[in-house]
Amino acid sequence: MTPSPSSPPQAPAPPSDDWRRPAIVVVGLVVLFLAMLSAFALPPLHSKPHDVPIAVAGPSGPAGQLRDQLQEREPGAFDIVTLSDGQAARDRILDHDAYGAIVTDGTHTTVLVAGAASPAVANTLKTLAAQLGEARGAAVPVEDVRPLPPDDPTGAGLSAGAFPLALGGWICAAVLLATVPRQRQRVVAAFGFSVTGAMALTALLQYGFGSLDGDYWLTSAGAALGIAATAWTILGLRTAFGNVGLGLGAVTMIFVGNPLSGLTSAPELLPSGWGTLGQFLPPGATGSVLRSFAFFDGANSTRPLIVLSCWLVGGLALYVIGLRRPRGKAPAVPSANSEGKPSSEDNPSRELLPAT
């Protein structure tokens, strides 16, 4: 029999002229771009005081009258507590329970601020002091009972640290997932980066920029907990949910958590409700811990420490769940490469990245 001639090779199909996919990609990128701009621009554009904790101190008559005037003049701006005297007001500020205070005896009035608690709120109270002085026909002195370090009187260094804190944990997780296949090494590296990265960041802010002046080791410990909470949240999301978890972590930490952290101003200056939300995310809680540890000896840090601990434990739990998730039945006999040795995929000592 005469063998049938072999069929000629088929030419590759011409590229599709369907423009729907690139159009969808362009539209999606524009939406993402607008979402990023909104996330970072809207909070400062709509910044104003919302229930900022302050104190009014003095005899009950003058102090109560001043409190009523403030509440009537700027309703909802301040959460005011009345105290007996100026020393009680100073103690409340140094305990990080109030951003400032107005001390009055009916004749003389002084405004106390804490620049280290928030330069933005301190400026708001200074403006209030000027307005009170105009109304009374006499200047109202302002005293900063807990100022920022002289090398960084505006707090620019600590504010600039907000984005590296939010991004650093995400980058750490992404790099470890891509470069460190063994689970034990990945765990050690994640905690190792959290500690060494926190020490390096705190050292740069405190000794390089002069932006911090508290206990170095205490501040470093707070920063380490914040970085670990972020890194392990990302590691857990990626291990449990694949690349979708990686994207979800980026949105949560960078696009939402960073602009709502309040580190550049104060949570009470963000739009109502959004500042509170930001304090329950790792960037906001980390900022509060850093400010508390660096300037107020850890006062009023219980809630942000609990928030960060919950994110850390949750991330670790997701990581363990992702590792224990079934990933298919292993082959009964390991395959061999050209040299007759088991391939790396079948080597039980080699731990691979979690499947996406």
- Mark whether 308 and 177 lie in a shared domain: yes
Note whether 268 and 52 are within 8 A (CB).
yes
Judged by average pLDDT, the poorest of 113-127, 151-165, 274-288 is 151-165
pLDDT surpassing 90 at residue 273: no
Q: Give the residue, 180 or 136, on which the prediction is more confident.
A: 180
Question: Does 125 share its domain with 231?
Answer: no
Tokens of 189: 């590296």
Q: Which domain holds residue 104?
A: 52-144
Q: Where are the beta strands (DSSP E) in the chain?
A: 52-57, 78-83, 100-104, 109-113, 142-144
Number of domains within the chain: 2
Q: For the chain, how big is the Rg over CA atoms in Å?
A: 28
More confident call, 186 vs 349: 186
Q: What is the pLDDT of residues 214-271, one digit of tens each?
A: 899 999 999 999 999 999 999 999 999 988 888 888 888 888 888 888 888 888 888 8
Q: Return the pLDDT at 149.
A: 93
Answer yes or no: is 150 within a domain: no
DSSP classification of residue 325: S
Indicate which CATH number applies to the domain containing 101: 3.40.1400
Q: Is 339 helix (H, G, I), strand (E, B) or coil?
A: coil
Q: So what's the pLDDT on residue 17?
A: 64
Question: 185 with 308, same domain?
Answer: yes
Residue 348: pLDDT band by 50, 70, 90 thresholds? very low
**Does residue 27 lie within any of the structural domains?**
no
C-alpha to C-alpha distance for 295 and 122, rounded to whole angstroms: 15
Confidence of residue 161 (pLDDT cuts 50, 70, 90): confident
Q: In the Cβ-directed half-sphere of 342, how many Cα atoms lie within 13 Å?
A: 11
Q: What is the pLDDT of residue 355?
A: 40
